[in-house]
């Protein structure tokens, strides 16, 4: 059995760990592994390279992806399916392991099924926004990366009292990452795109935190209202200096955590098992266990509202929703 890896969309810590684990398992079973350089555009241009375990093993503990990705919508081309089928046949490739987030895993698996290409989809995004999966590969690592930045900033907060700190996480329009980081870091407030808030309330809450704890910590998702303006608004409303930290894409490239490495190893084992058994689908985490599903859930991913209210010290009538 010869498997090709294709990374589509954003990278995330844990991809390299899964690649290496799968290659090791494949080698033990007499199978081979290759990868498309540059996602599906790379595959369509036959930019394919062998990926032996000896090549991948040094990358197991590194963030990002050794395989370049792409977001180019090349599969919308009328001849894409026929061309991919021909390339896979000519290259003696039997199936595919597809890495991607919500967009990739919602749009591409139906195409692969229609083209009769066996595949396993791997939810890979630090945003943790894949419907029907409690967890995605890279999410835990991104949380841990944020804690290092927050702990560093708050070293000043504890040494020199009387400051506000705002930390912006990635996450796009999904607040799951910011909410999880806020909970783990003991933030005084969290702002996410899904829930509205009042700036005067936020200013009062953070000012009270400074008076009580010596500092105020706000975690905000990049896609939330105020992500680009609160660094100016809050000091004006509170009269307190603010330090603004934006994690940006460095949050994607952090070292994979123990939890993500274990998840990567489990996903690699199951992906190989299902492909060997001629089964296709997407690996998702449900009730804490990995399971194979034919399609993603239609239920939109929403942050835990109760946790949001708890961190912000709010109840329903004060949220503006």
For 171-194, the pLDDT digits (tens) are 999 999 999 999 999 999 999 999
The Cα 214–Cα 306 span in angstroms is 27
117-165 pLDDT, tens digit per residue, is 999 999 999 999 999 999 999 999 999 999 999 999 999 888 888 999 9
Q: Where are the alpha helices (DSSP H) in 215-283?
A: 230-238, 258-276
| Three-class SS state of 320 | coil
| Residues recorded for the chain | 321
Question: Among positive and negative, which fits the CA dihedral 49, 51, 55, 59?
Answer: positive
Residues facing residue 167 across a β-bridge = 219, 245
The Cα 64–Cα 15 span in angstroms is 7
Buried b (16+ CB within 10 A) or exposed e, 149-159: bbeebbeebee
**Average pLDDT of 248-271?**
95
Q: Using an 8 Å Cβ cutoff, are 5 and 19 in contact?
A: yes
pTM here? 0.93
CA 213 and chain centroid, separation: 32
Map out the domains of the chain with their CATH numbers. Answer: 2-138+256-286 (3.40.50.450), 142-252+303-318 (3.40.50.460)
**Average pLDDT of 92-117?**
95
127, 129, 140, 244: which is the annotated catalytic residue?
Answer: 127
Question: Among positive and negative, which fits the CA dihedral 44, 46, 52, 58?
Answer: negative
62 pLDDT tier (thresholds 50, 70, 90)? very high
Largest CA distance in the chain: 69
The set of residues, in sequence order, having a beta carbon less than 8 Å from that of 46 and lying 6+ positions away, is 87, 91
The Cα 58–Cα 30 span in angstroms is 21
The Cα 217–Cα 306 span in angstroms is 19
50 pLDDT tier (thresholds 50, 70, 90)? very high
208 has pLDDT over 50 = yes
Rounded to 5 degrees, φ, ψ at 203 are -65, -45
Q: Residues of the chain with pLDDT > 90: what percent?
A: 87
The H or E element containing residue 107 is helix 102-114
- The answer to whether 129 is a known catalytic residue is no
Q: Using an 8 Å Cβ cutoff, are 132 and 184 in contact?
A: no
The set of residues, in sequence order, having a beta carbon less than 8 Å from that of 160 and lying 6+ positions away, is none
Residues facing residue 4 across a β-bridge = 34, 96
The pLDDT of residue 299: 86
Rg of the Cα atoms in the chain: 22
The Cα 108–Cα 85 span in angstroms is 14
**Average pLDDT of 193-215?**
97
């Amino acid at each position: 059995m010869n498997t090709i890896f294709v990374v589509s969309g954003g990278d995330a810590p844990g991809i390299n760990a899964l690649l290496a684990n799968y290659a090791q398992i494949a080698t033990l079973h007499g199978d081979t592994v290759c990868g498309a350089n540059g996602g599906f555009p790379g595959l369509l241009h036959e930019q394919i390279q062998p990926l032996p375990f000896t090549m991948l093993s040094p990358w197991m503990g590194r963030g990002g992806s050794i395989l370049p990705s792409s977001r180019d919508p090349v599969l919308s081309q009328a001849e894409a399916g026929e061309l991919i089928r021909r390339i896979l046949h000519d290259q003696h490739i039997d199936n595919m392991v597809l890495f991607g987030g919500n967009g990739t895993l919602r749009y591409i698996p139906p195409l692969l099924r229609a083209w009769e290409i066996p595949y396993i989809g791997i939810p890979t995004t630090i945003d943790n926004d894949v419907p029907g999966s409690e967890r995605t590969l890279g999410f835990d690592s991104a949380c841990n990366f944020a804690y290092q930045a927050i702990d560093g900033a708050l070293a000043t907060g504890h040494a020199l009292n009387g400051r506000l700190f705002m930390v912006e996480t990635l996450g796009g329009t999904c607040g799951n990452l910011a909410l999880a980081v806020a909970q783990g870091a003991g933030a005084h407030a969290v702002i996410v795109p899904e829930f509205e808030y009042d700036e005067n309330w936020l200013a009062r809450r953070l000012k009270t935190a400074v008076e009580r704890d010596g500092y105020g910590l706000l975690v905000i998702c990049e896609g939330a209202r105020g992500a680009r303006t609160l660094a100016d608004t809050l000091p004006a409303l509170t009269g307190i200096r603010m330090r603004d930290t934006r994690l940006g894409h460095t949050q994607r490239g952090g070292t994979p955590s123990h939890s993500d490495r274990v998840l990567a190893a489990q996903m690699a084992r199951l992906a190989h098992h299902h492909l060997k058994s001629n089964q296709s689908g997407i690996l998702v985490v449900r009730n804490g266990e990995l399971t194979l599903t034919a399609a993603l859930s239609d239920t939109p991913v929403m942050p835990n509202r109760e946790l949001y209210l708890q961190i912000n010290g709010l109840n329903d009538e004060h949220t503006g929703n």
